[in-house]
């Protein structure tokens, strides 16, 4: 595997495959970077690197869609694949298998390197000079409550006892040049660590790191078990530790190759209004919520730093590529650990992370004797719906492995022809829901409880009532199929 230790080498790799668009014309510093990034998602354009931001004294550049779907049609997940050190041609199952396999490897702790030569220390801003106004931080959407300083950066925090270091991605909105406010969800790991500092009555030290090695951003954006340090996971993925330096003002370590590092403390009360913000479900936000304040105390950065920008919305963006892959890997791992025979799974991008499709092998009845399909669906629902890391999933479709979960055409056909209008659905009526999901009523959001469902579409065993497909593969003798294939005209002959 070839891995990129910094963002710039990754951008060179994107450029080599034709998946990077350098925009040298002047771009405004308010809304245009968001609009460019959003259109790039919706047209599967190359990742836009905006190099000339109006009014930006530091020469800060903005990279849009850092892990979106690729412009190269034969390599749709090249950005995620390259980020993880895989070939640009890697498929969804290959990427998910890598995420699963890395979980089983022993982690590699980061290694401290000489801070004097670390790229992230090329420029150090303290006091009044440590201002967010020096950087190009645009609005993501026209109706957002503010400029979002963190959409693809890594937030680094540590439990008070120092035993758990969490690297994660969470949205953080700029309030002014010295303050930000971010979404701290209690069920997420950063929320659990923040609560420990709240109970101590001490503000939580943090570092917000922009422009990390792409694998660091990926690991920060996927669910890993509580207590697992994302930095150790990336070390296992790479086969060597991440190089870090000590933060300048707080007791944390940060990636040495980062583009920008912002340091400070997080308040112990929800004393600022965050939002609204357009989210991964595909709708513009209309509400704000009280969240803690992030103070800005010290900033360090590379020359002409690159600030990544993710603009969440209708599929497909990073929420529906990398995040969906991470949640799928988590779901498969949990189900297999529970002894369930899972062939594959996927969260279709078009579902905006609201569906999980799970397939099981034809012989699942032999592997789980005396188990009905309804009982299997029940067990899958209990595992997925009660995992903190998978709280975002409200619907599961359980299918036979003649359906490829990564092929939307297969999935739609299965849902249309195998979901009974009334029966064979397992309803979990009082499961946890959060406002980021977009399929519940106001009273359910207020209560934090709502229904989730598993659709059992499993067919009878082969030879016992299952109908064959009316398809080329199943509708004709093998010899005739081969004859047709042998005489099939090449594309150049058509």
Provide DSSP, 59-78: --EEEE-TTS--SSTT-TTH
Mean pLDDT of all residues in 308-322: 96
Q: What are phi and psi of 294, to 5 degrees?
A: -100, 115
Q: For residue 298, what are the β-bridge partners?
A: 126, 263
Indicate if 191 and 53 belong to the same structural domain.
Answer: yes
Question: What is the chain's mean pLDDT, rounded?
Answer: 96
Burial 166-203 (b: 16+ CB within 10 A, else e): bbbbbbbbbbeebbbbbbbbeebbbbbbbebbbeeeeb
Gap between the Cα atoms of 330 and 323, Å rounded = 11
Gap between the Cα atoms of 404 and 400, Å rounded = 9
Residue 444 annotated among the catalytic residues of the structure: no
Range of the domain at 344: 338-456
With H, G, I as helix, E, B as strand and everything else as coil, classify residue 28: coil
Indicate if 128 and 251 belong to the same structural domain.
Answer: yes
pLDDT exceeds cutoff 50 at 492: no
Mean pLDDT of all residues in 63-80: 97
What pTM did the predictor assign? 0.94
| Residue whose entry in the numeric block shows the structure tokens 């590529």 | 321
pLDDT exceeds cutoff 50 at 493: no
Mean pLDDT of all residues in 385-407: 96
Stretch among 22-26, 137-141, 394-398, 459-463 having the lowest mean pLDDT: 459-463
Summary count for the chain: helices (H), strands (E): 13, 24
Mean pLDDT of all residues in 40-56: 96
User: CATH number, domain at 399?
Assistant: 3.40.1670.10
User: CATH number, domain at 255?
Assistant: 2.30.110.10
* Contact (CB, 8 A) for 203 and 267: yes
**Tell me, what's the pLDDT at 491?**
45
The upper half-sphere exposure of residue 479, i.e. CA atoms within 13 Å in the direction of its Cβ, equals 0
Over residues 352-392, the pLDDT tens digits come to 999 999 999 999 999 999 999 999 999 999 999 999 999 99
Q: Which residues, other chains included, contact 199 with Cβ-Cβ below 8 Å and sequence gap of 6+? A: none
Over residues 183-228, the pLDDT tens digits come to 999 989 999 999 999 999 999 999 999 999 999 999 999 999 888 9
**Tell me, what's the pLDDT at 412?**
97
Nearest to 166 by CA among 209, 121, 113: 209
**Does 467 reside within a domain?**
no
Indicate if 294 and 174 belong to the same structural domain.
Answer: yes
**Does 475 reside within a domain?**
no
Provide DSSP, 209-256: EES--HHHHHHHTS---TT--HHHHHHHHHTSPPEEEE-SSSS-EEET
Q: Which residues, other chains included, contact 174 with Cβ-Cβ below 8 Å and sequence gap of 6+? A: 132, 137, 146, 147, 148, 149, 180
**Does 364 reside within a domain?**
yes
**Does 106 reside within a domain?**
yes
Over residues 146-158, the pLDDT tens digits come to 999 999 999 999 9
* Contact (CB, 8 A) for 359 and 345: yes
pLDDT exceeds cutoff 90 at 95: yes
pLDDT exceeds cutoff 90 at 56: no
Indicate if 388 and 430 belong to the same structural domain.
Answer: yes
List, in sequence order, the alpha helices (H) in 43-200.
78-83, 92-103, 189-200
Indicate if 305 and 353 belong to the same structural domain.
Answer: no
pLDDT over 90, % of the chain? 94
* Contact (CB, 8 A) for 288 and 145: yes
Indicate if 272 and 358 belong to the same structural domain.
Answer: no
Gap between the Cα atoms of 27 and 334, Å rounded = 45
Nearest to 183 by CA among 98, 287, 81, 70: 287
Nearest to 294 by CA among 323, 270, 316: 270
Gap between the Cα atoms of 79 and 100, Å rounded = 19
Mean pLDDT of all residues in 323-351: 97
Mean pLDDT of all residues in 260-267: 98
* Number of domains within the chain: 2
CA pseudo-torsion sign 416, 422, 331, 254? positive
| Residue whose entry in the numeric block shows the structure tokens 């979990």 | 428
Indicate if 92 and 233 belong to the same structural domain.
Answer: yes
Confidence of residue 57 (pLDDT cuts 50, 70, 90): confident
List, in sequence order, the alpha helices (H) in 3-68.
7-16, 32-42
**Tell me, what's the pLDDT at 1?**
66
Mean pLDDT of all residues in 284-294: 95
Nearest to 358 by CA among 369, 373, 368: 373
| Residue among 279, 330, 349, 431 flagged as catalytic | 279
Task: List the structure tokens of 263.
Answer: 């340091």
**Tell me, what's the pLDDT at 4?**
97
Indicate if 116 and 19 belong to the same structural domain.
Answer: yes
């Amino acid at each position: 595997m070839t891995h990129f230790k910094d963002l710039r080498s990754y951008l060179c790799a994107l450029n080599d495959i034709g998946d990077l668009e350098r925009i040298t014309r002047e771009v405004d510093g308010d809304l245009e970077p968001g609009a460019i990034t959003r259109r790039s998602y919706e047209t599967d354009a190359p990742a836009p690197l905006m190099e000339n931001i109006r009014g930006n004294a530091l020469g800060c550049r903005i990279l849009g869609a850092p892990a979106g779907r690729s412009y190269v049609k034969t390599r749709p997940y090249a950005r995620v694949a390259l980020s993880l050190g895989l070939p640009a041609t890697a498929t969804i199952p290959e990427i998910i298998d890598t995420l699963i396999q890395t979980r089983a490897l022993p982690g590699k702790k980061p290694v401290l390197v000489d801070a004097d030569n670390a790229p992230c220390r090329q420029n150090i801003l303290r006091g009044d000079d440590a201002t967010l106004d020096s950087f190009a931080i645009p609005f993501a959407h026209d109706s957002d409550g503010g400029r979002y300083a963190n959409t693809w950066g890594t937030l680094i925090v540590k439990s008070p006892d120092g035993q758990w270091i969490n690297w994660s991605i969470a949205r953080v909105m700029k309030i002014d040049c010295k303050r930000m406010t971010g979404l701290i969800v209690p069920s997420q790991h950063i929320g659990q660590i923040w609560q420990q500092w709240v109970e101590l009555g001490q503000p939580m030290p943090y570092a917000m790191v922009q422009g990390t090695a792409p694998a660091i951003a990926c690991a920060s954006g996927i669910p890993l078990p509580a207590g697992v340090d994302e930095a150790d996971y990336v070390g296992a993925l790479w086969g060597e530790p991440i190089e870090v330096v000590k933060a300048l003002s707080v007791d944390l370590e940060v990636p040495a190759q980062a583009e920008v590092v912002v340091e400070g403390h997080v308040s112990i009360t929800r004393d600022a209004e965050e939002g609204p913000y357009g989210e991964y479900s595909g709708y513009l936000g209309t509400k704000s919520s009280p969240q803690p304040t992030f103070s800005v105390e010290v900033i360090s950065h590379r020359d002409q730093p690159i600030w990544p920008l993710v603009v969440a919305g209708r599929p497909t963006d990073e929420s529906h590529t990398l995040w969906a892959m991470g949640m799928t890997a988590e779901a498969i791992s949990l189900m297999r650990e529970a002894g369930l025979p899972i062939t594959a799974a996927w969260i279709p991008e078009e579902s905006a992370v609201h569906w999980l499709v799970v397939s099981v092998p034809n012989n699942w009845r032999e592997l789980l004797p005396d188990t009905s399909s309804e009982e299997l669906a029940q067990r899958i629902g209990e595992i997925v719906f009660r995992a903190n890391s998978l709280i975002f999933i409200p619907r599961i479709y359980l299918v036979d492995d003649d359906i490829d979960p990564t092929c939307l055409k297969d999935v739609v056909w299965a849902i249309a022809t195998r979901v009974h209008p009334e029966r064979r659905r397992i309803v979990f009526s009082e499961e946890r829901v959060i406002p980021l999901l977009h399929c519940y009523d106001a009273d359910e959001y207020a209560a934090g409880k709502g229904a989730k469902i598993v659709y059992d579409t499993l067919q009878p065993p082969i030879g016992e009532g299952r109908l064959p497909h009316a398809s080329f593969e199943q509708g004709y003798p093998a010899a005739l199929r081969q004859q047709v294939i042998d005489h099939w005209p090449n594309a150049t002959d058509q």
